[in-house]
């Protein structure tokens, strides 16, 4: 159910204040007490919905799954015994249209034979370390948006706005959500077209979430470093050794993304200031499509539409498993529906439109952000003529051993080019699932010279 008009009017007032460049007031200590009462420690509604189809949050899943750990980091499906309650198809989608993101509606219409949604019982598995919960409560009264929404301050190692008042705050909760301290994987990317052609890429990724690291260096904390990313390509052979190094900051206004690329043919590292926003990445996506949205929010105005109940991807360890064969998993049109799980959850809906004087190939975007994890789970992307052009779906892993729900794969579909791009996935034999338990490397690992050495 959408929030009341009075709530949206207040959000609009706040947004107008922010556009003037002033910092927004933090919430009160009395409001923070709600995080131990009617709200979860990260700000979701603790209670279930009226008909019980969304259950109460009772702490999430924090027990180690049977069979974990294992050599290929395959995370078991915690609810393998669940049966689908029903399946949404092109034939019956009108029955569920009020709870379907536009992305899902478009896919059902565009690929009526290939795309379907198996809907399972809703499981509110989201759980995080107690230290993270403590930081959320501690910093909720000091966190502020600054620089017109392009930066935050007064927060560290926490989502800044557990009780958000506008679209900018919701987006920053996504950008600063908990994905562990360090994650590494032998991951892949796959481009699949309806004509059956497929392009496969494999690479090693290392991401140090410095913002959530209790042992972060004074230099990184003082600078406000959000994360440090490194990847080195292993296949196809023509691309082997190519590398990317990137760093984001919690103040994009004063510290924009820093990035470098390594070309093994030239044996040179180059600064890459264009690795962001709508610079094309693969054929079907752009750089700020990473994890459905990443990087600076500076090119958009973000409007909070409200909160709704939606059928979204959830508890999708199967589509992140290195024990499935790619040929049977990556079917033309979309991923094999039998590997995917959808559930009814409450999501924050945020609409982004390009600011006057800015540019982006997506003139408008809509984000559906899970209240329990702050992950963007679905996104609609529109071209300059107002047509739905691309859509995206996220499949975070349930890493209950940490505990966290994050990382994982995501997919973008280009409705004009009739293809989809599955990214940062460990789906496929020979790959290795994400490990969140390792110790991050030294800061020297995330340097241009180190990137060059890894690419040799």
Could you read off the pLDDT of 62-93 as tens digits, one per residue?
Answer: 999 999 999 999 999 999 999 999 999 999 99
Tens digits of residue pLDDT in 429-444: 989 999 999 999 999 9
**Angstrom distance (rounded) from CA 16 to CA 383:** 26
Structure-token pair, residue 231: 């990847």
Average pLDDT score over the chain:
93
Q: Which residues contact 245 (CB under 8 A, 6 or more apart)?
A: 228, 229, 230, 259, 260, 261, 262, 269, 446, 447, 448, 451
Tens digits of residue pLDDT in 140-157: 999 999 999 999 999 999
Tens digits of residue pLDDT in 400-432: 999 999 999 999 999 999 999 999 999 999 899
Domain boundaries, the chain: 5-57+130-153, 86-127+166-454
How many helices and strands (H and E) does the chain possess? 8, 18
Structure-token pair, residue 13: 């007032």
Q: CATH assignment of 86-127+166-454?
A: 2.50.20.10
Given this model, what pLDDT does residue 2 score? Answer: 38
With 50 as the cut, is the pLDDT of residue 250 above it? yes
What b/e sequence results for 283-301 when a residue is b if at least 16 CB atoms lie within 10 Å of its CB, and e otherwise? ebbbbbbbbbbbbbbbbbb
Are the beta carbons of 39 and 162 closer than 8 angstroms? yes
Please state the separation of Cα 110 from the chain's center in Å. Answer: 24
Structure-token pair, residue 274: 């264009």
Percent helix / strand / coil, the chain, rounded to 5 = 20, 30, 45
How many degrees, rounded to 5, is the angle at CA 100 between CA 81 and CA 97?
A: 115
Average pLDDT over residues 23-35: 84
Given this model, what pLDDT does residue 1 score? Answer: 38
Tens digits of residue pLDDT in 387-402: 999 999 999 999 999 9
- Lowest pLDDT segment from 109-118, 120-129, 266-275: 266-275
Average pLDDT over residues 134-141: 97
Given this model, what pLDDT does residue 277 score? Answer: 97
């Amino acid at each position: 159910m959408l929030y009341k008009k009075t709530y949206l009017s207040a959000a609009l007032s706040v947004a107008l204040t922010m556009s003037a460049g002033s910092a927004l007031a933090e919430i009160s200590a009395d409001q923070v007490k709600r995080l131990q009462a009617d709200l979860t420690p990260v700000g979701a509604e603790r209670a279930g919905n009226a008909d019980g189809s969304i259950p109460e949050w009772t702490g999430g899943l924090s027990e180690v799954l049977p069979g974990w750990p294992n050599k290929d980091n395959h995370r078991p499906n915690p609810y393998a015994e669940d049966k689908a309650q029903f399946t949404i198809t092109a034939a019956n989608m009108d029955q569920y249209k009020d709870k379907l993101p536009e992305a899902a509606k478009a896919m059902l219409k565009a690929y009526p034979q290939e795309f379907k949604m198996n809907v399972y019982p809703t499981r509110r598995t989201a759980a995080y370390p107690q230290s993270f919960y403590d930081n959320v409560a501690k910093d909720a009264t000091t966190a502020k948006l600054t620089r017109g929404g392009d930066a935050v301050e007064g927060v560290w190692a926490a989502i800044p706005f557990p009780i958000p008042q506008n679209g900018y705050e919701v987006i920053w909760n996504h950008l600063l959500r908990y994905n562990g301290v360090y994650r590494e994987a032998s991951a892949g990317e796959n481009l699949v077209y309806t004509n059956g052609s497929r392009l496969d890429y494999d690479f090693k990724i290392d991401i140090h979430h410095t913002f959530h690291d209790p042992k972060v260096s004074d230099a990184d904390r003082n600078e406000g470093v959000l994360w440090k990313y490194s990847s080195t390509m292993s296949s196809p052979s023509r691309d082997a050794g190519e590398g990317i190094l990137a760093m984001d900051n919690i103040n994009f206004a004063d510290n924009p993304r820093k990035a470098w690329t390594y070309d093994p043919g030239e044996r040179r590292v180059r600064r890459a200031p264009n690795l962001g926003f709508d610079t094309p990445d693969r054929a079907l996506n752009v750089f700020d499509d990473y994890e459905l949205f990443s990087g600076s929010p500076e090119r958009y105005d973000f409007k909070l539409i409200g909160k709704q109940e939606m059928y979204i991807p959830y508890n999708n360890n199967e589509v992140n498993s290195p024990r499935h064969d790619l040929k049977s998993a990556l079917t033309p049109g979309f991923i094999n529906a039998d590997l995917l799980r959808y559930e009814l959850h409450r999501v924050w809906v945020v609409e982004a439109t390009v600011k006057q004087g800015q540019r982006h190939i997506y003139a408008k975007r809509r984000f559906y952000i899970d209240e329990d994890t702050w992950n963007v789970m679905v996104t609609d992307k529109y071209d300059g003529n107002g047509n739905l052009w691309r859509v995206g779906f996220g499949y975070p892993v349930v890493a209950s051993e940490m505990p966290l729900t994050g990382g994982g794969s995501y997919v973008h579909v280009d409705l004009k080019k009739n293809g989809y791009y599955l990214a940062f996935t460990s789906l496929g034999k020979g790959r290795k699932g994400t490990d969140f338990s390792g110790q991050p490397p030294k800061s020297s690992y995330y340097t241009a010279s180190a990137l060059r050495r890894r690419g040799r």
